[in-house]
Amino acid sequence: MTYKPKNILITGSSSGIGASLAVFYAAPGVFLALTGRHAERLSNIAMICRDKGAIVEEAVLDVTDCQKMKQWIEKLDHNHPLDLVIANAGISGGTGGCGTGEPEDQVRQIFDINLGGILNTVHAILPLMQARKKGQIALMASLASFSGWPGAPSYSASKGAVRLYGEALRSRLRTENIKVNVICPGFIQTPMTAVNDYAMPFMMEADQAADFIARGLEKNKGRIAFPWQTYFIAGFIGILPYWISSGLLKKLPEKPPSSSINS
């Protein structure tokens, strides 16, 4: 990699893509700030990163706690000015087995974590990056953000909000030398997809996804969407007239209810 960020924060780094990104970036001379809700898994990832030579600070935090996130990020940035912040934490859930649709508590939890957690991360670091006129922020969306999936209404809606927010933020911050990138993965082999009981075409390993994301961030791509096959399908459905796309989307399987798996 030509561009090598030295001080990196990754939320939701106790498993899945977040964990793979942490291991990918771990190297001598790199400071990694890792947070997640699962202490043992987070500790294991931190240990792997230290074995690769990185300096690691880990914290078991809930990204929905705005004040604690702000305090932690400000403290980190004071000691290690952050070059790259990856707002990755998220959960998944759908209507499968719910009968009458998504329970309200699941809907609110998904929005609180997937969207609220992103905002709590972004708005804690953004003023600090603006003050020094440099930095990079990556937001984890999904290919599900391109249309409203009836089997996962709140998940697709929360990721849609993240994608649109990130793309708008990128344009707004361009003149301030702050890079903003939106990540839109398809099916990745993680604890989040392990509960799905339906076919997931073009699935990628989390380590492959981390490599693809890191290369996209290095090139400062506005939208890092993959794999290309699923991206093409999602994008095509997204531009179809609603009366056509809604009929196609109804045929998709229902996603299992949330099990509060934090990526």
Q: According to the model, what pLDDT value does residue 258 have? A: 56
Q: According to the model, what pLDDT value does residue 262 have? A: 41
Q: How far apart are CA 164 and CA 21, in angstroms?
A: 23
**What are the extents of the domains in the chain?**
7-249
Q: Which residues of the chain have pLDDT under 50?
A: 194, 198, 260-263
State the catalytic residues. 155
Q: How far apart are CA 42 and CA 52, in angstroms?
A: 16
Q: What is the dihedral of CA 20, 63, 112, 162, to 10 degrees?
A: -50
Q: According to the model, what pLDDT value does residue 86 have? A: 99
The domain 7-249 belongs to what CATH superfamily? NAD(P)-binding Rossmann-like Domain (3.40.50.720)
